[in-house]
A = this chain, B = another copy of it.
Amino acid sequence: MKYTIEVCFTPSLFAQRLTRSNFIVVVTDILRASTSIVSAFNNGVKTIIPVSDQEEAFTYKENGYLVAAEHDGLILDFADFGNSAFNFMTPEVIGKTIAYCTTNGTKAIKMASLDAEKVAIGAFLNLSILAKWLIHQQKNVVILCAGWKEKFNLEDSFYAGALVEKLSYSPDMEIICDSAHAALDLWRVGKDHPLDYIEKALHRHRLKRLGLDDVLPYSFTIDNAPVVPVLKGNKIRNVL
């Protein structure tokens, strides 16, 4: 039995995917939602609720949840944390539920959850353990890049290539689309020096302008967080 590997470079390409049944979607948004979510679980967070706008985040705050929310790189005044992975490296978060406000990430997660059997969160931090878990599930896999305002971005596609490579090591899994081949090539071009490679990515420059690129080296650290965050209902939990 063979399972398929497909990559969607942006959420707007998800509707045209080839994979139609028996599949898991891996959502990735390397800078920064998926890196932060993976990091949060590694640091002991119990549950994350992805929310897509400030109003929804504020409602969670009013209902007693911890809230991570920022706008243009600044922590919103009602929020407990910003969206950076570094915000979750504190004992305060252990065992807690956090409402995490992310426009791109939440949109991709919600879109994926409509059709997929499971939705997992992928980052470089949990690359190998997620690949191992995915292969163990014996399902088709669609890697959905959150992108940036519906546009292709290099860091998410680069990660997609890394995950494609790991999945391809299984004799049961097979690439079925050109996007997965292309992502794999991008990964192979830059894998020996990820930070140098991603230097040219435009979103990185946007973060840099906002003085937020301190988290970049961490975001491209491989296998630092052995967790597999999976969506159930509207909540994400670590299933390991």
Interface stretch among A108-116, A117-125, A180-188?
Answer: A180-188
What residue of chain B has the Cβ atom nearest to residue A188's Cβ? B189
A202 near B177 with CB under 8 A, answer: yes
Stoichiometry (number of copies): 2
A119 to chain B, nearest CB (A): 21
Contact residue range for chain A? 20 to 34
**Cα distance A12–B147 in the bound complex, in angstroms:** 14
Proximity string of chain A (192-207) to chain B, C-beta cutoff 8 Å, 1 when within and 0 when not? 0000000011110000
A93 to chain B, nearest CB (A): 32
A13 near B16 with CB under 8 A, answer: no
- Is A154 at the interface (CB under 8 A from chain B)? yes
A178, A181, A203: residue with the most chain B Cβ atoms closer than 10 Å: A178
A185 near B179 with CB under 8 A, answer: no
A181 interface neighbour in B9, B10, B150, B154, Cβ under 8 Å: B154
What are 28 A-B pairs at a CB distance below 8 A?
A: A9-B152, A10-B13, A12-B12, A12-B13, A12-B16, A13-B13, A13-B150, A16-B149, A16-B151, A18-B151, A151-B178, A152-B177, A152-B178, A152-B179, A152-B182, A154-B178, A154-B181, A157-B182, A176-B202, A177-B202, A178-B202, A178-B203, A181-B200, A182-B186, A185-B186, A185-B189, A186-B186, A188-B189
B189 near A201 with CB under 8 A, answer: no
